[in-house]
Amino acid sequence: EKGKWIIQGAADNLHLPDGNIDVGNSGSLLYFLTPVLSTLKGECIFTGDESICKRPVSHLIDALQQMGAQAKCLKNKDCPPFSFCGPITSKKILNTEGKLSQYISGFMMASSKMDGELQINLSNPQETPYLTMTQTVLKEVGIESTISTDYKKINVKCGKKIEGFKTTIASDWEGVAFPLVAALVSGSSIKIENIDFSGTQGDDKIVEVLQSVGAKITCDKENKCLIVESSGGTECFSTKKCPGGVLTVDISSFPDAICAVSAFACFIDGKIVITNAEICRKKETDRITAMKTELSKIGAVVEEKDDSLIIYGTKNGENLHGAQIESYKDHRIAMAFASISLGLKAGESVIINDGECANVSFPDFYETMNKLGAGFVTI
């Protein structure tokens, strides 16, 4: 049945594969699966595509070593491919930075294959809504945990055998973000259905950010939909109502939204500062540098700092023009510039190299947008 997956769990028969695990372009798979498989005896090697093999994993290697596994990078001292040899049974306390949430979630998931209690101490936790999301999902399958209010201490009760269960996967707010931005910059009115209003996804904060500069977005929680009302243009979007006339967006709790927020910022009259974005340099690509470089190609005025992106937007994006853009094979960058293109002046167009990478998180993105009249074409 379309939209339904039936998964037969391996239970006690879970084992390491005969060969390497190639995660392709999926950082989530790498970070979630590595801690789980490290609870098993034997050696395992993880690798991925060109992008994955440039992503630093020193924090993950250190965490595995702390937990008793032998782990090392095989080619580059800080990037995949890497190997580890478990099981991680010697220690139950993990001290790590925690700027990236995925490997923390991975160790929380791995707790079902461990004994006793796992204590995770984070010195600089970010992407914290994803930790709460992990806690919620684990509770649904009987794994109890506690997270301190500052997210610096996580305790998970280990050894709970997971029984079969049924669940509904919530819609992805990052999938919502780009049609939402596309509608606003093109002056379109749309309704986006099947929205997750549970509050477990930090990425829903993008609605609040957009509303703060004048976007007319209605959250219909009863019918689970977002309604975007056209203003006929983007001239109403301004930072004038923001403190000091500057829109400051602390992106630390929803860093995956940096591409969507940057795209919309180009059409806001005023200064937009996206802060606490350092972790964005460790995603599919360095998204701070990539967005600065590519936004500059279309005429946007952008400054790059170590952990922030500053964009000087204009009404209706009047300084923007068409250009050929590199996506860096990053799905969110591709969708960001596809959305921007819909707000450009008549006759201007954007060519996105390797734009098909959008399929990583939003299969049929261009086809879906074309059904709304976008007019994307493959060349």
Tokens of 128: 């914290």
3-state secondary structure of 190: strand
Query: Cβ(20)–Cβ(81) under 8 Å?
Result: yes
Catalytic: which of 196, 203, 250, 256?
Answer: 256
Q: Is the dihedral of CA 26, 151, 170, 332 positive or negative?
A: negative
Which 3-state string (H, E, C) describes 315-379? HHHCCCCCEEEECCCCHHHHHHHHHHHCCCCCCCCEEEECHHHHHHCCCCHHHHHHCCCCCCCCC
Query: Cβ(299)–Cβ(254) under 8 Å?
Result: no
Alpha-carbon 367 to chain mean position: 22
Query: Cβ(324)–Cβ(351) under 8 Å?
Result: yes
| 256 annotated active-site | yes
Neighbours of 244 (CB within 10 A): 8
Active site residues: 256
